[in-house]
Structure 1
Amino acid sequence: MAESTDVVVIGGGYAGVMAANRLTQREDVTVTLINPRATFVHRIRLHQLVVGSHGAVVDYREVLGERVRLVVDTVVRIDAAGRSVTLAAGGTVGYDYLVYAVGSGSADPGVPGAAEFAYPIATFEEAGRLRPVLDAAPATAAVTVVGAGPTGIEIAAELAEAGRVVTLVCGGALGPYLHPRGRRSVAGRLAKLGVTVLQGPDMKVTAVTRDAVRLADGRELPSTVTVWTAGFGVPDLAVRSGLSTDALGRLLTDETLTSVDDVGIVAAGDSAAPSGVPLRMSCQAAMPLGARAADTVLSRIAGERPATLNQSFGAQCISLGRGAGIFQFANRSDVAVWFNIDGHLGARLKELVCMGIPKHLANEAGKPGSYSLHRMSGAARGQLLLQGERGERPAAAERSA
């Protein structure tokens, strides 16, 4: 009987589940998925969790293949030399190959008072902590959302649609990814919902107190509840394990997603930095990266040369409450173009995306190897690498759908 190959996947998000399911194509591969939660978190619905319109979780039995062993625990260290991971609950799990898909979370705000008085919503637990705080606040209480990216826009719209008095502080441009035409559409919808939008460098938050937000121009905005969505970080597991990372802590890999330190470790999702030029933090990138990471491992098991990353983007979608949204189209280099679909149809398209993601994962669980979006042709990756060499493209630190 052929010897089995043990693969450990760290992280049960979009990238990790996709990778784990895909790895079960081979009968001689055993797959262990290690995740700190017993349920799959549908992260792009966390803004809905805050207002109570969606639970933002899916049972792993709906998206994870039967041959994947789920271990509910946290990895505290990777021993690359010993080919094992250490668990928080004690003990170790050995591996022949490791998929590093630990995802992302809230970044250190670096603003006085923000860590103490503001509420981030990058994780399920954080969003869950914010909800009772809002429930306890009077309906007329001032709510300030800090951050102009998709997360900030979405939570501001959800809260305003629920009747809250919301100020969105951008500290720059509203929706910096968006094309100017799309930005105008989003601004119009927020205005209709009654959201006050503050843009520009003078609107940057310099301090947060229990009941106010201080701006760069010296003004103080009353704020009973402050929601912090400005930027995302990644877990420091790779750093603590002595592996090479970029400045944010993402695992440095080559274009096959293989760690620059160890051929037995591949990365996927928000925690990967291929060639030091990471993709936009999003489920749109995470699932194809998960599939690519699995293919790299399977190629190595088969003694074949892994294919390189060839990832293209097509759009960014943002919900603007339950009644509207925007589907912002982009070119293959992930630069927004003039065309978008907004309003009610934009909301329908965003909802179709949200509903489709668990279906993609479930399809891969039922028929491993069937997912193929990561194989779409395009020159986007080469262009991004060239821009990275020129220092033209900053590392993305904002999640989106």
Structure 2
Amino acid sequence: MTGNVDVAVVGGGYAGVMAANRLTQRGDVAVTLINPRRTFVERIRLHQVVGGSHEAVVDYREVLAEGVRLVVDTVTRIDAAERSVTVAAGGTIGYDYLIYAVGSGSADPDVPGAAEFAYPIASMEDAQRLRPVVDAAPTTAPVTVVGAGPTGIETAAELAEAGRVVTLVCGGPLGPYLHARGRRSVAKRLARLGVTVLEGLDTTVTAVTRDAVRLGGGREVSSAVTIWTAGFGVPDLAARSGLSTDALGRLLTDETLTSVDDARIVAAGDSAAPSDLPFRMSCQAATRIGAHAADTVLARIAGEQPAPINLGFFGQCISLGRRAGIFQFASKDDTAIGWYIGGGPGAKLKEFVCKQTVKHLADEASKPGSLTWVKDDKRQELLRARRGEAATR
């Protein structure tokens, strides 16, 4: 390939920014990052936006390499045959390679009344819409948070610490990822903050009204403000563009993160489904997957065979208000273990992780190719076992 190689990165979150920065290792690669917002959003701080303790935005000049062209727009369609994307403002942007890093959001809730009366918190726009609603509600007004993953736990704790009356409806276990020991620590902290935790099979939400949340067990919880953190969804851009996706809409790829339909399209972050076995949603995974996506493109430009992704994990970090938190350690295959750091040290570690994640992006901007990560060979073992099971059917 002669002359510049044009690479379009669709999505400017953790994965997209990391990929764009890493691509600048080659001087003959022209990188265009297309994102609907002018600022980088620290998604792992959105609960703080609602609670009023952080704005969760960073100027792209602080995290994006100087050589990356930023286009503030929304991609409405990918034309793989023409190697171009259509943007909402009109016109198209061509590419030689495309990195698909559109991120994730809330799934459209199919619970009656949820779309009308509950507030999602998966995007900056969601958080900004919710914040004045919470501020306008009397302090004694009951707030119900639906969903007991990290976002639900963090939102419930943040608002309770600010003096709100909060009920956390789990729809199952509290913190499904957590080890039993870590779960007990989180439950104790939430109890100290005054959060009412409703967990178990009978806490599945069956309906949401203007002033209540109804549960499968027949119970009704009063709620002046209902916050919906349950479910996972991704933009439908890949599906609308005729690309193969998994059941949730993530782009199907091989282990190098290359689309099963087109070797010129590589996925990164929450919107990637390598071997139909996606990684857990986290900023840790997003940055590393973004880096690997860039490495795959760079390998193809160099005429080399891209390597399969090999990603290990440390665990999961959850804030429990501003004064406490938990870091749940995990084995490299992302299975939670009995060790955790809680309380004040847990809060400091969570804040360190938030700041360090932004620093990783800035470091990659100034020194592309510098990010490294933990490896884990168990994924390949799992894939081989799954292929073996499929072959015997």
TM-score range, shorter chain: over 0.9
Cα distance in 2 for partners of 1:388, 1:347 equals 39
1:284-304 deviation line (CA, Å, top 9, x unaligned): 100000000000000000011
Deviation at 1:235, TM superposition (A): 0.2
RMSD: 1.3
**Which amino acid in structure 2 is aligned with residue 136 of structure 1?**
A
Contact 1:212 1:222 in 2 (8 A): yes
Counterparts in 2 of 1:2-401, with a 5 A limit?
Answer: 2-373=2-373, 376-385=374-383
**Which amino acid in structure 1 is aligned with residue 335 of structure 2?**
V
Q: TM-score, normalised by structure 2?
A: 0.97
Cα distance in 1 for partners of 2:53, 2:378 equals 36
Contact 2:332 2:375 in 1 (8 A): no
**Which amino acid in structure 2 is aligned with residue 235 of structure 1?**
P
Cα distance in 1 for partners of 2:250, 2:214 equals 32
Cα distance in 1 for partners of 2:306, 2:267 equals 14
Cα distance in 2 for partners of 1:205, 1:67 equals 48
Deviation at 1:380, TM superposition (A): 3.2
Deviation at 1:389, TM superposition (A): 5.8
**Which amino acid in structure 1 is aligned with residue 210 of structure 2?**
R
Deviation at 1:377, TM superposition (A): 2.8
How many residue pairs get aligned? The number is 389
Q: TM-score, normalised by structure 1?
A: 0.95
Contact 2:160 2:193 in 1 (8 A): yes
Contact 1:333 1:384 in 2 (8 A): no
Tell me the secondary structure at the aligned position of residue 328 of structure 1. strand
- Which stretches in structure 2 are left out of the alignment for 5+ residues? none
Deviation at 1:275, TM superposition (A): 0.3
Contact 2:259 2:266 in 1 (8 A): yes
Tell me the secondary structure at the aligned position of residue 58 of structure 1. strand
Contact 1:112 1:206 in 2 (8 A): yes
Deviation at 1:384, TM superposition (A): 4.4
Deviation at 1:387, TM superposition (A): 7.1
Cα distance in 2 for partners of 1:269, 1:390 equals 28
Tell me the secondary structure at the aligned position of residue 277 of structure 2. coil
**Which amino acid in structure 2 is aligned with residue 232 of structure 1?**
F
**Which amino acid in structure 2 is aligned with residue 321 of structure 1?**
G
Deviation at 1:351, TM superposition (A): 0.5
Tell me the secondary structure at the aligned position of residue 189 of structure 1. helix
Contact 1:312 1:381 in 2 (8 A): no
Contact 1:277 1:384 in 2 (8 A): no
Tell me the secondary structure at the aligned position of residue 256 of structure 2. coil
**Which amino acid in structure 2 is aligned with residue 315 of structure 1?**
G
Cα distance in 1 for partners of 2:272, 2:188 equals 36
1:190-221 deviation line (CA, Å, top 9, x unaligned): 00000000011111110000000001011111
Q: Rate the CA distance shift 1:388–1:157 in 2: closer, same or farther, 3 A.
A: farther
1:60-83 deviation line (CA, Å, top 9, x unaligned): 000000000000000000000000
Deviation at 1:388, TM superposition (A): 5.9
Cα distance in 2 for partners of 1:114, 1:384 equals 37
**Which amino acid in structure 2 is aligned with residue 61 of structure 1?**
R
Contact 1:312 1:380 in 2 (8 A): no
Cα distance in 1 for partners of 2:382, 2:349 equals 27
Identity of aligned pairs, percent? 75
Tell me the secondary structure at the aligned position of residue 232 of structure 1. coil
**Which amino acid in structure 2 is aligned with residue 381 of structure 1?**
R
Tell me the secondary structure at the aligned position of residue 106 of structure 1. coil
